[in-house]
Structure 1
Amino acid sequence: MEEAKKNQNTSLRDELDPVIDVTNESNEPANDVDNVDEHAKNKGGQSKRSFVWDHFKKVEGRNGKVKCDYCVLIMAGGSKENGTSAMSYHLKNVCRRFPLYKKEGMKKQAMLNFKPTTKRQSRGTLASHHFHQEKARKFLARMCIKDNRPFSIIDDEEFREFVWEINPMLKIPSRWTIAKDCLSIHEEEQNNLKKLLKNQIVSLTTDTWTSVQKFNYKCRTTHWVDDNWMLNKRILNFCQIPNHKGVTIGKYVYRCLQEWGIDRVFTITVDNASSNDGAIKYLRYMLKGSRSILDSKYLHLRCCAHIINLVVRDGLDEQFSTITKIRNAVKYVRSSPSRYDNFKECIKYEKIDCKSKPCLDVETRWNSTFLMLETAEKYSKAFNRLQEIDINYSSYFYNEGDDDDGKKIITRKGNNSNKNDRVLGALEDEDWEKASFQ
């Protein structure tokens, strides 16, 4: 009798106050917070959409009152006036005996979808997704960095409408917040790169040039092989320098190495400028020590591409006159819209089917000269016809003047006196034959 009475009391206590092992997630109820699609039915057969009805019961005789299955708290809920919001809040944030009390990641159901593809991926990957305000703001800042977007893009009306249509929960920050986030991302990536470069043997590539605004700039790139035998490349620094002197270049490179904590340099690749010899001499002295690689004996490495460019330039001097005439002809048709319109009329008349436009070469890139000659040769008939219909085309290549004795002389247009002044006259058939690659 006593044992039966004890079992009866235990069953009654478990019914009023059920015991759940919170530490064991496998013992959680079958219907938790995420199972919002399952419906609990009451005695009348009416469907309940909210998950809270798996953990609450209506109090008989008291309209609009419900009782929690875990803490036996009676509260208002379930009616049209009160709804189920208070019941949901009670389970997630108040009831300590609820298995999922204040458990992050279980309060909302994740969405399963394909992530967008990247350059290294052939197709998207399937992954779950939770919306996070801070994470979305960080990706917005990364978009501005990677795509060179201005911070003012977040103030655009169309952009805000687009974001609202995708997810109205995203609170768009101000441009100042995005700017701070970009600085934070820069510091984070900088610290990550410093960890990667720690105790690594690296090789540097550096170059110095002067812009059209007469400012001197310098860029430094590092290369290294990681533990997985993968070649990596990162730009360490891009800055303005006062001059092209060797000591100045060496000091700026060494300062950059100190900022990144790099003390093991194998080679430094530079072009054949004489100032770089002084820079390498300075760096070889500063990098000597127990951490130097082979006592910095092979530190100086000359740029192979720059050497090839110098060799090709010397070879192109044999056809200097023809190349200069073609370059001047391309300059003429590209100098104004009206001239280019006349040139297009000549192309149409000669029925030339070519989609590429005439392009100019760059002095430091020998392959650009090849592209200029290759494209211009396709339009040779159009250039010859332009010489016949445009009176300004021939006069663009030379003009006449008087010398001190009153004799007529022909001089090249331009204020600078250089070897370009020796090239006179427009293009002839002989020039096109030299430029032909057949």
Structure 2
Amino acid sequence: MFNSVCTMEVSDSEPLNTEPLDTETAPSTTRRRRKKSMVWEHFTVEVVSDGCTRACCKLCKQTFAYSNGSKVAGTSHLKRHIALGSCPKIKNLENQQHALASATRIDGDTSDPPKKRYRTSGFVNVFDQEQSYMYLAKMIIVHEYPLHMVENPAFVSFVQSLQPRFKMIDVNAMEGEVLSVYHKEKQNLMQIFGTMPGRISLTIGLWTTSQTLGYICVSGQYIDSDWKLHRRMINFMLVSSPHSENALSEAISVSLSEWNMKTKLFTITLDNNCSSHDIYSANLRDHLSNKNTLMLKGQLFVVRCYANILNVVAQDVIASIHGIVYNIRESVKFVKASPAREEKFAEIALQIGIPGTKALSLDVTTLWNTTYLMMEAALEYKEAFTFLETCDDNYNEAPSADDWKKVEVVCTFLKLLYDSAHTIMTTIDQTANVFFQEAWKVQLELANGTLSEDTMVSSIAKEMHEKFDKYWKDCSLVLAISVVMDPRFKMKLVEFSFAKIYGEDSARFIKVVNDSIHELYLEYVSQPLQLMPAYVDEGEANHMNGNDNNPPATPNSTGDGLLDFDVYLSEMAVNQSTKSELDQYLEESLVPRIQGFDILNWWKLNNLKYPTLSKMARDVLAIPVSMVGTGCSIFGSGTGSRVLDDYRSSLRPETVEALFCAKDWLQYLPTMTEPPSTAIVKLEF
């Protein structure tokens, strides 16, 4: 705070004292050392008694210890008094200078005096009211704080203690700041979408409010020019009747128009509460089909969420044995009610010879994975629970032998779903290809379970398979085409898995996938593609070998005058019956299945080799097969509509959209909140 006062006194010709600050010794009686420290421009040394002196501030007249006999206090505390604004006279002087500078800027009669150069450790921290408003708005958005916190007396006092010059605003002004952040980030995202090389796939989710209103959440997933996967929320709009026939179609149409994506839509992924009929029955599909924007005649248009089907199947089978689950839950509660009971139960388990590899735990009733883990752990102690019932009159909740058998069967199938969900959640980039291998294993195991001779196993498997089979029939084509775009599997995994699922009838289903992927490829061939010269192979080879220093040549860069020759070769290639990129790709050997394989990087490196097929792969791999993003729990996604709390339900729809969308966008910024520099002027003496 003492920038203008203390720094102007520095002389450029005066040498700096490089000795340690706090190790000054008393001046010699025969030869007094000249004080070089800058603080002596603002302090005088006064003798208090024999051998004792104090430093007196010239401005405020406060005194500070300096020397006592041979001991010298140093000058660090004197510097702090001057440089950090502890001196009241300096603080008043600084305020007067600020006021004078402001008046000068307004009148325009005088010019600022030339600034003297001084050494600093960084930029001076300048308070910016508008910037502080922006940071406050971002904090409220990101952390979901209520807007009215700006009128909370405790929060206002806290902010004032940090920066007295900050003028707190009211709720209405804060709402305006939030909308300002939203519109700014929206413009940035629209510019990104404008340069997007491929198509975009949407996800549609429903939210309800405490009233009879509802919101539709629209997000888009795409792969950028650097082959990075992204998902961004683009709309969170209010609809009066979210379950009406045309609500979803209208919301999608508005989003496509607002973001200029009418010709870029590839697929739409729906959660469990959205009906495909709402999409197909309205005019959206016909409208897009008339514009020739739907690929493969719309066969890939609607995708069901994989996370939702796992939750539906798991929660339904748990509900079918809810009585047994209740007994297990109460049994675990009984044991864990006191340390004495836990100790007694452990002794029983030890006597019976139970290894006790799992610890008993209670579940969260809304998270089926915790219920599965509770049942799985209790299953290991089933004999201990039975014995406990015989020796403790207070316990009578032990499941029967048939109940334990049913729990064992249910846990066997739940483990299949649990492992699949865990694999998806731990995948960094959830490209569409990773879901086929998970889905076909679940489909196969449930189908095999229905054929079991054990009536209990077959009945439980049949109930689960009936729901999952519907998902498989709706989405197996999308999943199969996606895994064909994986160079580690291609059509081979489709052939292998379909043979196990469909048996002798597998050839018919394999042909459907093969025909569909060739038809889809031909649609991409018919689209304009940048001319790739015949001599690009050398550059391509360098790129494949990791040598990116020599970019592939282009007709304009070579200057050999053979551009017409390249056009001629391209026309000849089209007319000749040569193998297509797709056929070359399918016939080549599979890429080794190594750990950490990056499919997006593989296509990035092979973009020149397969220019058309890579465009198709970019769009297919970007299909959001699961609406649950990376790092989020599949188990917590639930099967019902998500509900807005009462506070957000009371806000204006445009404010709700701004809060939800801006929060999603801000989390992807390199720096969430980049605070102004906190460096202060550092005086050097």
Structure 1 residue 145: deviation in Å? Answer: 1.1
Q: 1:384-403 counterparts in 2 under 5 A? A: 385=388
Q: Does 1:96 align with 2:100?
A: no
Amino acid across the alignment from 2:159 = V
- CA distance in 1 between counterparts of 2:266 and 2:149 reads 44
Contact 2:150 2:171 in 1 (8 A): yes
Matched with 1:9 is none
In structure 2, give the amino acid aligned to 1:205.
T
Is residue 130 from structure 1 mapped to residue 126 from structure 2 by the alignment?
A: yes
Q: Which runs of 5+ in 1 are unaligned?
A: 1-31, 52-78, 101-105, 113-126, 395-425
Instruction: Verify the 8 A CA contact 1:332 1:393 in the aligned structure 2.
Output: no
1:374 paired with 2:376, answer yes
- Alignment partner of 1:150 out of 146, 153, 160: 146
Which amino acid in 2 is paired with 1:276? S
Q: Find the counterpart in structure 1 of residue 180 from structure 2.
A: 184
CA distance in 1, matches of 2:163, 2:403: 64
Give a deviation string over 1:317-341, Cα, whole Å, max 9, x none.
Answer: 8xx86x433422366589xxx9898
Normalised TM-score (structure 2): 0.37
Residue 261 of structure 2 is matched in structure 1 by 262
What's the counterpart of residue 363 of structure 2?
A: 359
Alpha-carbon distance change, 149 to 274 in structure 1, aligned in 2, over 3 angstroms: closer
Partner of 1:221: 219
Structure with a larger share of its residues in strand: 1
Residues of 2 paired with 1:190 and 1:382: CA distance?
A: 60
**Contact 1:269–1:302 (CA<8 Å) still a contact in 2?**
yes
Measured in 1, the distance between the counterparts of 2:324 and 2:396 equals 13
Question: How far off is 1:383 after superposition?
Answer: 6.2
Deviations 1:244-269 (A, max 9, x none): 35443323322332333321201112
Residues 403-424 of structure 1, C-alpha deviation per residue, up to 9 Å, x if partnerless? xxxxxxxxxxxxxxxxxxxxxx
2:193 aligned with 1:197: yes
* Residue aligning to 1:431: 403
Q: Is the 8 A contact 1:359 1:375 kept in 2?
A: no
Q: Give per-residue Cα distances to partners, 1:70-124, cap 9 Å, x unaligned.
A: xxxxxxxxx99x9687788479756437446xxxxx9999874xxxxxxxxxxxx
> Are the counterparts in 1 of residues 389 and 395 from structure 2 also a CA contact under 8 Å?
no
The CA distance in 1 between the partners of 2:335 and 2:240, in whole Å, is 39
Amino acid at match of 1:257: L
Give 1:350's match in structure 2, choosing from 327, 345, 352.
Answer: 345
The alpha carbon displacement at 1:135 in A equals 0.7
SS in 1 for 2:289: coil
Aligned residues: 320
Structure-2 separation of matches of 1:212 and 1:347: 43
Query: Shift in Å at residue 290 of structure 1?
Result: 4.5
Q: Who is 1:11 aligned against? A: none
Distance 1:366 1:326 in 2: 15
Aligned partner of 1:288 in structure 2 is: 289
1:303 Cα deviation from its structure 2 partner: 3.0
Q: Distance in 1 between matches of 2:291 and 2:225?
A: 23
- Give the conservation status (yes or no) of the 8 Å contact 1:110–1:130: no
State the secondary structure of the residue aligned to 2:225. coil
Distance 1:177 1:390 in 2: 65
Residue segments in structure 2 that go unaligned for 5+ positions in a row:
13-34, 42-88, 347-355, 413-685
Instruction: Describe the superposition over 1:374-405 as per-residue Cα deviations: whole angstroms up to 9, x where unpaired.
Output: 354477588665898687965xxxxxxxxxxx
Is the 2:334–2:395 contact (alpha carbons within 8 Å) kept by the matching residues of 1? no
| Alpha-carbon distance in structure 1 between the residues aligned to 2:335 and 2:171 | 42
Aligned letter for 2:266?
F
In angstroms, what is the RMSD of aligned CA positions?
Answer: 5.3
Deviation for aligned residue 1:184:
1.9
Q: Indicate the residue corresponding to 1:302 in structure 2.
A: 304
1:204-215 maps to which residues of 2 (within 5 A)? 204-208=202-206
- SS for the counterpart of 2:169 is coil
1:428 aligned partner, one-letter code: S
Task: Give the CA deviation at 1:142.
Answer: 1.0
Cα-to-partner distance string for 1:2-35 (whole Å, 9 max, x where unaligned): xxxxxxxxxxxxxxxxxxxxxxxxxxxxxx9698
**Residue 660 of structure 2 corresponds to which residue in structure 1?**
none
Are residues 1:139 and 2:135 paired? yes
Is the Cα contact below 8 Å between 2:364 and 2:370 reproduced in 1? yes
Please name the residue that 1:39 is paired with.
10
Answer 1 or 2: which has greater helix percent: 2
- Does residue 163 of structure 2 align to residue 167 of structure 1? yes
8 Å CA contact retained: 1:287, 1:296: no
Distance 1:135 1:179 in 2: 15
State the partner residue of 1:234.
Answer: 232
- Deviation per CA, 1:199-251, whole angstroms, max 9, x where unpaired? 64210112347789887654322111223322221223344552535443323
Aligned CA distance change for structure 1 residues 325 and 198 (closer, same or farther; 3 Å)? same
Task: Tell me the equivalent position of 2:616.
Answer: none
How far apart, CA to CA, are the structure 1 residues paired with 2:124 and 2:277? 56
Write the letter of the residue equivalent to 1:202: I
Q: Percent identity?
A: 24
- The structure-2 alpha-carbon separation of the partners of 1:274 and 1:145, relative to structure 1 and needing over 3 Å to count, comes to closer
| Mapped partners of 2:274, 2:101: distance in 1 | 77
Q: Given that residues 360 and 374 in structure 2 are in contact (C-alpha distance below 8 angstroms), is that contact kept between their aligned partners in structure 1?
A: no
Q: Does structure 1 conserve the Cα–Cα contact (< 8 Å) formed by 2:212 and 2:240?
A: no
Secondary structure, aligned partner of 2:362: coil
* Letter matched to residue 373 of structure 1: M
Q: 1:156 to 1:313 in 2, by over 3 A?
A: closer
Distance 1:261 1:310 in 2: 35
